[in-house]
Amino acid sequence: MRHQKAGRKLGRTSSHRKAMFRNMLTSLFEHEKIETTDAKAKELRKIAEKIVTLGKKGDLHSRRQVLRVISDKKIAKNLFDQIAPRYQSRNGGYTRIFKVGRRHGDNAPLSLIELIPEENVQKPKKRASGQQKKIAAASTAPK
Amino acid sequence: MALPKRRHSKSRRDKRRTHDRLSSPQTTLCPQCNEPKLPHRVCLGCGTYKGKTVLEVKEI
Ligand SMILES: [Zn+2]
């Protein structure tokens, strides 16, 4: 049974996986977007969202927790000062994945994972009005 | 043990294989550049997805 077996191993030992995701997170927070395989992007999303949440807290403890993963102090500082504040109005969903096709050589499906850019952060408002419509539709439908 | 009684002709073999063909991948037309693209994928013709530019396309 696959009970309690969430997550991908990606053909690596746990230490290899951990090191790889640390590198990938550092790159993601440095460049805002990185290209990788679909599977790695989906795993990276889980970790990156948690790091942004720590970034939004911004207290001493969360800074130390982030530095355990991102050893580059400049990049960590940029996360707290530039990246995290733009997501104050958002509860999760700080990243976005685009599927971009397949890699030459091994035909692996590639994705582009990015931190939602500043100008697009306001999107949740739309969803809220959509929900209101649904509620309105649900209240009128039974009659 | 069960064994084939007769060798199958090329015709029989090939007839069996008529159903083995591959289907071509489903594509949609890009709303930006009208090139065929794979669904849920960035258009590789113009580098857009849902009307937004995602990638820079290199001219070859
Ligand atoms: Zn296109």
- Give percent of chain A above pLDDT 70: 85
Measured between beta carbons, the chain B residues lying within 8 angstroms of A100 are 41-42, 44, 54-55
The candidate with the shortest Cα–Cα distance to A69, out of A14, A140, A19, is A19
A81-130: per-residue pLDDT in tens? Answer: 999 999 999 999 999 999 999 999 999 999 999 999 988 877 655 555 54
Checking if the pLDDT of A137 tops 80, the result is no
* Most A-contacting residue of B55, B56, B60 (CB-CB within 10 A), to test interface: B55
A103 φ, ψ (degrees, to nearest 5) = -85, 140
Q: How far apart are CA A62 and CA A69, in angstroms?
A: 11
pLDDT at A138: 47
Q: What ipTM was predicted for this assembly? A: 0.76
**Cα separation of A68 and A7, whole Å?**
21
> Residue A113 burial by CB count (10 A; 0-12/13-18/19+): exposed, middle or buried?
buried
pLDDT at A142: 45
**Measured in Å, how far apart are chain A's first and last C-alpha atoms?**
46
Q: pLDDT grade, residue B46 (50/70/90)? A: confident
Mutation to test the A interface, candidates B35, B37, B38, B42, most A Cβ within 10 Å: B42
Residue located via tokens 């102090």: A73
pLDDT of residue B54: 72
d(CA A67, CA A10): 24
